[in-house]
Amino acid sequence: MVAGAELIIFLVAAAVSLGASYVLVTRLERIGERLGLSEGLLGVLAALAGDAPEITSAVTALSMHQNKVGAGVVIGSNVFNLAALLGLGAVVAGRIALHRKVVLLGGVVGTWIAVVCLVTVLGLIPAGVALVAALAALIPYLIVLGASRARLAGIPLARRWAAWLAEAVAEEEAELEEVIHPAHGRARDVAVAVAMLVIVVGASVVMEQAATRLGVHFSIPPIIIGGVVLAAVTSLPNSVAAVYLAARGRGAAMLSTTLNSNALNVTAGLLVPATITGLGAPSGQASLIAVWYLALTLIALAFAYRYSGMTRATGALIIGAYLVFLGSLWIVAHTAEPGLAASVVPLAFVVACSGAGLAGRRWRLR
C-alpha cells in the first residue's frame, strides 16, 4: 500500500515537473526573443529550461548526500539524450543533415565537458577545479554564440579562424531557426516563468525523494534509480520533441540541442552542487556511466562529421549501444565484484562496431 502511494506521488510529481518545464521553455524563449538574443543563445536557454527537472533532481540528491542517485541522474540523462534525441531522431527521420562546422564547434565543447565529467567522477580532480575547467569552455562558447558576425571578426584570432567561427555560428543558427519560433515576450511571461520554475523545483524534489524511497522499498540500486529511471523520465519531453521534429524533417537542431543540454546538465546539475556539498568517494558505477557518456559522445560526433549528418543506421547503432549500456550497468549494479566481462567488454564491443562503421564506405539510406 505504501509503495503504491509512493508510485502515485512519483508519477504525479513527474507529470507536474515535466509539464511546468515545457511552459518554462516557451516563456524563456519569448523573454529571450524580447531581449534580442541570437538563435544560438535561445537554443541554449531552451536547453537549460528543458533540463530543469534533471538538474533539480540531481541537486536534491547531492544535497542529501545521495551521490549515486545525483550523479546518475545527470550523467545517465546525458547518455539517454544521445540515444533518444540523436539516435531515435535519426531512425525516425531516415537522415538528419548537419553542417560539419557545427559538429566541430559544439563537439569540441561537448567532448571537453564529457572529459571533465569523467575525471571528476573518477576523483582525479576536485569538483571546484572541474567547474572552473567546464566554465572555461562553456563561457567562451556562449559568448561566441551571442556575438554578431562583426564582433566575431574583431576577435583577436587569425582572419581564417575568425571567419570559420562566424560561419559555424551562422550555420548553427540556421539549424536552430527551424525549431525556435518564439513569440515576442511580454511582462507577464516573466511572472509565468518564475512561477513555473518554482513548480518545477518543488515537483522535481518530490519526484526524486519518491523515486529514492521506491528504490529502497524494492531493493533497486541507487545508481539504477538515478542513472536509468530518473534519467529517462526527466528527459522524456526533449525526446518526444526530438522525434516529433525529426518526423517532420526538422531534426537538424538536435545535435546542438543535445550537446548544449548535456553540457548544462553536467555544469549546473553536477559540478556546481558537488563544489558545495562534495561528490563523495569515487564510485565504480558512476564512473561506468561517465565512461559511456564520453564514449557515446565521441561516437555520435564521429559519425555526424564523417557522414555530414546522422543516418538511420547510425541512429540504430547509437540506440543499440544504449541498450548494451543498460545491460552492463544492470549487471554491475547487482554484482558485488563485477569483472571485465560486465564493464569493459560491452563498451569495447560497441567501440569496435563503431570503428567498423566509420572505416567502411558511406552507408546508404534505407
| CATH code at position 57 | 1.20.1420.30
Note whether residue 85 is domain-resident.
yes
Confidence of residue 365 (pLDDT cuts 50, 70, 90): very low
Rg (CA), the chain: 20
Are the C-beta atoms of 72 and 223 separated by less than 8 Å? Answer: yes
What is the residue whose three cell numbers read 548544449?
260
Quick one: pLDDT at residue 239? 80
CA dihedral 195, 191, 56, 323 (to 10 degrees): 100
Domain span holding position 263: 2-359
| 46 pLDDT above the threshold of 70 | yes
Tell whether the model's pLDDT for residue 364 goes beyond 60.
no
Q: CA 219, 213, 7: angle at the middle one, nearest 5?
A: 100
The verdict on residue 24 lying in a domain is: yes
Residue 247, domain member (yes or no)? yes
pLDDT of residue 178: 58
- Is the residue at 364 inside a domain? no
Does residue 192 sit within a domain? yes
Q: Is the pLDDT of residue 158 over 60?
A: no
Helix, strand, coil percentages (3-state) for the chain, rounded to 5, are 80, 0, 20
- 154 pLDDT exceeds 90? no
> Averaged over 170-180, what is the pLDDT?
64
3-state DSSP call for residue 196?
helix
Residue 250 lies in a domain: yes
Please count the structural domains in the chain: 1
- Give CA separation, 282 vs 120, 177, 228, 287, 293, in Å: 9, 41, 19, 8, 17
Grid cell locating 262 = 548535456
Element of type H or E holding 126:
none
Q: DSSP string spanning 4-39?
A: HHHHHHHHHHHHHHHHHHHHHHHHHHHHHHHTT--H
Instruction: Report whether pLDDT(252) > 70.
Output: no
Question: Would you say residue 1 has pLDDT above 60?
Answer: no
CA-wise closest residue to 310 among 164, 99, 110, 46: 99
Cβ neighbourhood burial of 303 (10 Å; 0-12, 13-18, 19+) = buried
Chain Cα centroid distance, residue 338: 27
In a domain, 27, yes or no: yes
User: Looking at residue 351, what is its pLDDT?
Assistant: 93
Structural domain includes residue 329: yes
Q: Average pLDDT over the chain, rounded to whole? A: 85
Residue with cell 537549460: 48
Give the residue, 73 or 171, on which the prediction is more confident.
73
> What is the pLDDT, as a whole number, of residue 297?
97
